[in-house]
Structure 1
Amino acid sequence: MRDLMFASFMVLALPLAFMRPLNAYLLWGWTGMLIPTSYFYGFMADARLNFFFALITLSLIVLGKVKITNYQNNRVTWFYLLFIAHCTLSFAFGYSNNPLNAQYFEVVVKLMIFVLVMPLFVRERQHFHAVFIIIALGLGLHGVMDGLKTIASAGGHNMAGVPGSMMNDRNHLSTALVLSLPVSYYLALYSRARVVRFGFWMLLITTAIAVLGGGSRGGFLAISVLGIWFIVTSRHKVLAISLGLSAVLAFSMLAPERWTDRISTVQEAQSDKSFIGRVIAWRVSTAIALENPVFGGGFHAVQTYPVWETFKASPGLLGFLDLPVPEFAPKAAHSIYFELLGDLGFVGLSIFLTFISYALWNRWKICKQIGTSNPQLLWARDMADMLFLAIISFLVGGSAVSLAYFEVIYMFVMLMELLRIHVEQSIPKRQQPKARND
């Protein structure tokens, strides 16, 4: 029944996709984040919906239904083209006999295609709003499912990942869900219909409960940092503090003893075998990078047995730590920074950190341009703040998970750039800072 209902919905959505390329693009993004086939068990379980809507979108572009001349030239596009060129070389020169190399290179190519065509579609306020909606209804619905289970079980629910996706365990899923919280908050503030605003408030609350009850230390750190930054930067201080106190209250009521025991091990990292295993994986990743400083070892080479065996005793950049030579099987990097370092070398990590830093700078520039003299653009300032909070949360939560190629963070960086362009074009020339004539 579930498969049939969703298939019927997709049939109804098809005419909308062909009628308007933006609709096809939004469905492409939504199916990529929701991964609806992970919830099916019948004839829809193998349906390649994301590929199908990607094909429709790209076909409409090729057929001229979207004017290429409408493409908004921007710096992030050039950063991304440089990044994908570097990824291609890292893939080509990576260690052999690594099936993950081709798998993750394909992931990067697909996500880059999606974000690189975004400047064709996202130009006006309603376009930004629509992209936020697909993120909330994509990532957020995973949070609703786990949040409701956590409430129904009084905190006893064990979060699992989303099969067949980068959110395939609870740590990855928790970090990903934190990124959706600022998006849901923005939509709860700016949606016109009261019932829609209420829906996004419920989405935010249940997703936060899912993260707090999920038992992921990375997710807990990410949502804690998000809450602190949210209170500090928000223009709605009373609301921000109220939400923060509500989250603390809900956490104290729902969190079972096993969860608090697990989180308390954050303070006991030196005696935590799981943490020591991660540090060893970080050490191996740095050793790979030192051996291959420009292009790295290829995607997830650290998880390849021959590579792990070669470098497991190498000191790398963490030789000052007293760590044993591991006897266990290869481990994932468990950190976006060490993941990128081992995969793409120092150059790849530098490119990534450059466009992330540029996105944070864009937020500062947007806020400076809008100031207090453009109340009609306060929505853009609030959106920039929410994008900023999501990126900061990713940088914190990502320190404990291998989620460097998660599509949403690349979307946020591009959205911040397009938002800056929109603000610059919306502010009358007389209000923009004048160039100095030295």
Structure 2
Amino acid sequence: MRDIAVALVVFGLLPFVLKRPFWGILLLAWLGYMNPHRLCYGFMLSFPVVYVVALTTMIGMLVSKEAKRIVWSREMTVLVLLVVWMGLTTTQAMYSAEAWVQYQKVLKIQLLTMMTLVMLTSREKVHAFVWVIVLSLGFYGTKGGIFTIAKGGEQRVWGPEGTFIGGNNELALALVMTIPLMRYLQLHSKRRLVRLGLGAAMFLSAVSAIGSQSRGALLALSVMGLLFWLKGRRKLLIGVLTIAAAAVILALMPDAWYERMATIETYQDDASAQGRINAWWTAWNLAKDRFMGGGFEVFKGPTFRIYAPNPEDVHDVHSIYFEMMGEHGFLGLALFLGLLWLAWLKCSTVIKMGRKDPSKAWAGDLAAMIQVSLAGFMVGGAFLGLAYFDYPYHLIALVVVTHALARGDPKSAGAPAPAAPPRPAPQRPAAASLPAPRLARGPK
């Protein structure tokens, strides 16, 4: 039944995507974040559904008359440079075959990011795109939160297998990044029932992130909570609710959870933490020795035997920063950090615009919450290898478009061009110049 339901939704929408390619962008976001096809057991599990929808969307973008404009900015320039640099490092990769496969995946992700950028041409479309992300990941947050409460926190929460968020750590980070977007929608939802539902989803997503037993997610959630409070409108109310929610969540967790979280301070005695540090040193030594790094998929046994302090402890790098450093060298890391920094500055600019002009308050709120999401990614990503996850790149595209919309730039934002001034109405002759009308004369 799941396969049939997902197939009906996807293939039923394809004809409409040709006419409204923005529907394809929303459909791709749903497939990319919720991964409904990965929850199936039959033919949809292995069907190239994303490829079919992406191809249909591209055709629709070429043939439809729907508004589409690309917003070019310094962030997009740095992103293109980063992707090009990844291609150059792939030509010199230590494991060429695996590297080219991974580079093709990265190119597909960035192509979809650019397609999203082209089609986000209005506030309404930005709002709809955020809703799709929130509903897709909120599904796992709500489900995982209920599961954690029901099991008393004894079992970990996992994502759909074979996806970016399949692991407990990866899912937790994605949920941490989604909670601020839920808050944005809550601020701009008129219906009280919707606001209450989003509040419940925020709480359950936090419970789910904690229930994943991810130490990185705990740190990211702590930093996100602080920024959430700093950027919130009602600081007293938000502070009280955040502390109350944290107290309830921590009360649900078993002793095993506290023992695992305590290893953050005693990392030197934790084998997993020591393995990550060994991998980080491997990335550092590799980048110093090879200007272009080792290329994609470089963290393998032979690499560790050359560059690792402990050659026998082969471990995944588990860090967006050391992943970039080891695979693409110091220049690749610099481009990656520069992209995040520029996106952060762009958020700050939009926040200021929203404070000065009440009509742009929505843009300021969205930029503030994107900034909180990026902070969660940068903190949690220090302990996870998610440098190529499409989520942060979508957030960057969102803030770039939001900035263009807030500026009211019709060429960049895809808004309709200003109408030509109306032509003056033709002047009627003065009354004195008109001939006097003849009056009918009756019989004498």
Question: What is the TM-score when the length of structure 1 is the normalising length?
Answer: 0.89
What is the SS of the residue equivalent to 1:296? coil
Confirm or deny: 8 A CA contact 2:17 2:60 kept in the other structure: no
Quote the offset at 1:192 in angstroms: 3.1
Quote the offset at 1:215 in angstroms: 0.4
Structure 2 residue 263 is matched with structure 1 residue 280? no
Confirm or deny: 8 A CA contact 1:213 1:254 kept in the other structure: no
Structure 2 residue 345 is matched with structure 1 residue 361? yes
Confirm or deny: 8 A CA contact 1:300 1:339 kept in the other structure: no
Quote the offset at 1:66 in angstroms: 4.8
Give the aligned partner of residue 137 of structure 1: 135
What is the SS of the residue equivalent to 2:408? helix
Confirm or deny: 8 A CA contact 1:26 1:131 kept in the other structure: yes
1:26-105 correspondence to structure 2 within 5 Å: 26-63=26-63, 65-66=65-66, 70-96=69-95, 99=98, 101-105=99-103
Question: What is the TM-score when the length of structure 2 is the normalising length?
Answer: 0.88
Q: CA RMSD in A?
A: 1.9
Give the aligned partner of residue 327 of structure 1: 312
What is the SS of the residue equivalent to 1:47? coil
- Worse-matched range after superposition: 393-402 or 6-15: 6-15
Instruction: Give the aligned residue type for 1:419.
Output: T
Quote the offset at 1:19 in angstroms: 3.1
Instruction: Give the aligned residue type for 1:2.
Output: R
TM-superposition CA deviations, 1:238-285 (whole Å, max 9, x none): 342133123212222211111111001111112222111110000001
The CA distance in 1 between the partners of 2:239 and 2:21, in whole Å, is: 41
Quote the offset at 1:167 in angstroms: 2.0
What is the SS of the residue equivalent to 1:167? coil
The CA distance in 1 between the partners of 2:342 and 2:277, in whole Å, is: 29
The CA distance in 2 between the partners of 1:121 and 1:289, in whole Å, is: 38
Give the aligned partner of residue 5 of structure 1: 5
Give the aligned partner of residue 408 of structure 1: 391
Quote the offset at 1:91 in angstroms: 1.1
Choose the corresponding residue for 1:351, options 326, 335, 351.
Answer: 335
Instruction: Give the aligned residue type for 2:92.
Output: F
The CA distance in 2 between the partners of 1:198 and 1:102, in whole Å, is: 47
1:20-419 correspondence to structure 2 within 5 Å: 20-63=20-63, 65-66=65-66, 70-96=69-95, 99=98, 101-293=99-291, 295-302=292-299, 304-313=300-309, 325-328=310-313, 330-371=314-355, 373-419=356-402
TM-superposition CA deviations, 1:360-414 (whole Å, max 9, x none): 111221122332x411211111111000000011110011111111101011112
Give the aligned partner of residue 317 of structure 1: none
Quote the offset at 1:64 in angstroms: 5.0
Confirm or deny: 8 A CA contact 1:98 1:301 kept in the other structure: no
Instruction: Give the aligned residue type for 2:82.
Output: F
The CA distance in 2 between the partners of 1:8 and 1:147, in whole Å, is: 29
The CA distance in 2 between the partners of 1:192 and 1:107, in whole Å, is: 40
Instruction: Give the aligned residue type for 1:412.
Output: L
Confirm or deny: 8 A CA contact 1:144 1:207 kept in the other structure: yes
Confirm or deny: 8 A CA contact 1:34 1:138 kept in the other structure: yes
The CA distance in 2 between the partners of 1:412 and 1:288, in whole Å, is: 31
The CA distance in 2 between the partners of 1:401 and 1:151, in whole Å, is: 25
The CA distance in 2 between the partners of 1:14 and 1:280, in whole Å, is: 48
Structure 2 unpaired stretches of 5+: 411-444
Confirm or deny: 8 A CA contact 1:213 1:251 kept in the other structure: no
Instruction: Report the number of matched residues.
Output: 410
Structure 1 unpaired stretches of 5+: 314-324, 428-438
Report which of the two structures shows the higher radius of gyration computed on alpha carbons.
2
Confirm or deny: 8 A CA contact 1:233 1:385 kept in the other structure: yes
Confirm or deny: 8 A CA contact 1:79 1:351 kept in the other structure: yes
Quote the offset at 1:67 in angstroms: 6.0
Confirm or deny: 8 A CA contact 1:300 1:342 kept in the other structure: no
What is the SS of the residue equivalent to 2:371? helix
Confirm or deny: 8 A CA contact 2:282 2:304 kept in the other structure: yes
The CA distance in 2 between the partners of 1:204 and 1:49, in whole Å, is: 30
Structure 1 stretches of at least 4 aligned residues deviating more than 6 Å after TM superposition: none
TM-superposition CA deviations, 1:39-93 (whole Å, max 9, x none): 111232212222221111111123354566x322322222221111101111111
**Identity over aligned residues, as a percent?**
30
Confirm or deny: 8 A CA contact 1:107 1:405 kept in the other structure: no
